[in-house]
Amino acid sequence: MTYSEIEWRAMGRAKELALLGPRGINPQVGAVVLSPTGEVLSEGWHRGAGNPHAEIEALSHLSPADAHGATMVVTLEPCNHTGRTGPCAVALLEAGVSRVVYAVADPAERSSGGAERLRSHGVNVESGVRADEVTEMLDSWLTVVRLGRPFVTVKWAQSLDGRAAANDGTSKWITGPDARADVHRRRAAADAIVVGTGTVLADDPALTARLADGRLAESQPLPVVIGNRPVPRDAVLRKHPRGVLEARTQNLHQVLDDLRERGVQSVFVEGGPTLASAFVSAGLADRVLTYVAPVLLGGEKTAIGDIGVSTMAEARRLTLTGIERLGDDLLLITEPARISSDERTD
């Protein structure tokens, strides 16, 4: 990898610019144009779907003479496809840019290939500059591209013996205040929070993310209710600051496809045993958060129901990626186990 200290610093600035853009169906991208002597000529960032990409935005502030022979420093590989805007790789060639430095390759099949196109036309291209930092910034979007849908976290709270409620249906509160505060922090970090109509009718939840003092967090997830029954007009959820999205279907793939089109990158499933089981059974749980309280309830109200496992050979194996103590409770963070080729039986 060959790049200058000036280009390394410019990539740091491009990352800062990228964060000015909105999170959504398109990635956050920032760009800095440098003169042949390393002077910053212009800057740009992507301002959302339908707007010019970061590279085009940066070029728009330059005269043709200044752009010719310049270096484009950009957080994501210039795109190579025509969507609402034209290919950035072509725009850079037409502007006469002589060098392109980017951090992360575009993983999307329809838009990748910009670097190869630029190189084939004689542009000096350098990749991987501050790649770890930019990858972390783009983590949600990169995951959505890889999965083809939003990243799904399924959460439940349970007693030590695996119950989500007492036999009379009461469940407030299985876990203590530290665990509940952790849930609210994670809600605030998600783009959408998903429950079933059964939970709405039984518990009348607010589904807001709140601070320790009860005030609403600055960032609120979009509440999504899955099921054929409507949310009552007088439900507390109707007062949510983001409104409420009612998904009148049992098709979870369809729900996630719709959420992706709305720019949702992360989904927090908090809808009770029925919905949690449905996501796990469908293979749509990318992370499972299990809050375990040192309390015994017994009875039939298990934290998770039928997930299509009838024998140990069909057990859904998870990998434990983290354990956190939250007051008297434990949080177990797990993800689907990756089966190596020598463990497969098919």
Active site residues: 55
Q: Cα separation of 173 and 156, whole Å? A: 12
Q: What is the CA radius of gyration of the chain?
A: 24
Burial of 198 (0-12, 13-18, 19+ CB in 10 A): middle
Q: Which residue has the tokens 């010019």?
A: 52
Q: Compute CA 190 distance to the chain's CA centroid, rounded to the nearest angstrom.
A: 7
Q: Compute CA 196 distance to the chain's CA centroid, rounded to the nearest angstrom.
A: 21
Q: Give alpha helix (H) positions in the chain.
A: 5-18, 54-59, 64-67, 88-95, 114-120, 131-137, 139-147, 177-189, 197-203, 252-261, 272-281
Q: Which of 294, 247, 238 is nearest to 271 (CA)?
A: 247
Q: Which of 81, 35, 78, 36 is nearest to 55 (CA)?
A: 78
